[in-house]
């Protein structure tokens, strides 16, 4: 049995009759959404065989399974990042575990810096596409053909139809939702101003340290992905803000209620 199947088997035994088809990954400072999940069952990552621990402040490190917006969901409260030193495939593991228990749609969120002056802190951005210039990829290594193909089509990685529904949900809630390209930077340092200028030339609208490996893993195993960046700052060099994780958490918590309304309304509308 592969690693994700072993973990999925334990998780499936804890679902208490729930069959979530929607997975949610909660970014820095956005974990509060898990408190909106009704009839919640929590399963710490530490109870699942092979599952690495989340080591970052603001990332609890557990699955929360229950009901949100009238649908059964499984949320990852706390995620893994490449800068924590996990081996390539580890970042794919939680995504594959969710797939193995039946998840078909993955909602990914993150805190991010903005490369556009008009999309300042407090903005929400639907991710339309990404740039992976990190040299890192969770699919490097032997391919498990039972999970997905060796070569993965990423031309509709952030599903167009789901994104259209996300915009509808935002409009219905009166929430302004930007759209743009997310560039992945492994961190753990924030980018330099020169790197931000380079990313802008390459076509990035926002930058952050997550989401891309999870998106790649999800598309590989046949999930549909929708993703939102919570903008916590203008990217390095655009203003005089000193970037820090504390600043990211403080800013993402400020917009968390709006973010939660958007996610709940989107999920309720999935029908």
Q: Among all residues, which ones are annotated catalytic?
A: 28, 59, 81, 83-84, 111, 209-210, 233, 245
Of 23, 78, 113, 138, the one binding ligand HPA (CB under 6 A) is 113
CB of 158 to ligand HPA, least distance (A): 18
Backbone angles phi, psi at 125, to 5 degrees: -130, 120
CA neighbor of 49 nearest in space, from 10, 79, 103, 14: 10
CA neighbor of 25 nearest in space, from 16, 17, 34: 34
Q: Which stretch binds ligand HPA (CB under 6 A): 75-83, 88-96, 140-148, 229-237?
A: 229-237
Under rule CB under 6 A, how many of the chain's residues touch ligand HPA? 14
Which residue's CB is nearer to ligand HPA, number 96 or number 258?
258
Residue nearest to ligand HPA (CB): 113
Strands (E), 27-177: 38-44, 62-68, 71-77, 105-114, 124-132
CB of 196 to ligand HPA, least distance (A): 8
Any idea of the CA torsion for 22, 23, 27, 29, to the nearest 10 degrees?
70
Which residue's CB is nearer to ligand HPA, number 62 or number 233?
233
Give the CA radius of gyration of the chain: 17
Q: Is 243 in the site for ligand HPA (CB under 6 A)?
A: yes
Backbone angles phi, psi at 113, to 5 degrees: -95, 150
Chain residues binding ligand HPA by CB under 6 A are 111-113, 185, 190-191, 207-209, 232-233, 235, 243, 248
């Amino acid at each position: 049995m592969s690693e994700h199947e072993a973990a999925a088997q334990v998780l499936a035994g804890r679902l208490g009759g729930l069959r979530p088809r929607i997975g949610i990954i909660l970014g820095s400072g956005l974990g509060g959404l898990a408190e909106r999940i009704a009839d919640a069952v929590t399963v710490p990552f530490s109870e699942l065989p092979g599952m690495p621990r989340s080591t970052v402040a603001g990332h609890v490190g557990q699955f929360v399974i229950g009901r949100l917006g009238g649908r059964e969901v499984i949320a990852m409260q706390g995620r893994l990042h490449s800068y924590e030193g996990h081996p390539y495939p580890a970042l794919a593991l939680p995504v594959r575990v969710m797939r193995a228990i039946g998840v078909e749609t993955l909602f990914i969120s993150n805190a991010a810096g903005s490369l556009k002056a008009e999309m300042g802190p407090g903005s929400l951005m639907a991710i339309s596409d990404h740039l992976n210039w990190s040299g890192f990829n969770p699919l490097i290594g032997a391919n498990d053909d039972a999970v997905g193909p060796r070569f993965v089509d990423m031309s509709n990685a952030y599903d167009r139809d789901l994104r259209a529904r996300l915009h509808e949900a935002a409009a219905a809630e009166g929430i302004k939702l930007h759209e743009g390209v997310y560039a992945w930077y492994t961190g753990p340092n924030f980018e330099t101003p020169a790197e931000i200028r380079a990313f802008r030339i390459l076509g990035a609208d926002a930058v952050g340290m997550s989401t891309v490996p999870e998106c790649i893993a999800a598309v590989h195993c046949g999930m549909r992905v929708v993703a939102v960046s919570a903008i916590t700052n203008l990217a390095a060099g655009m203003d005089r803000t000193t970037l820090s994780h504390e600043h990211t958490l403080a800013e993402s918590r400020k917009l968390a209620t709006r973010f939660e309304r958007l996610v709940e309304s989107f999920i309720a509308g999935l029908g």
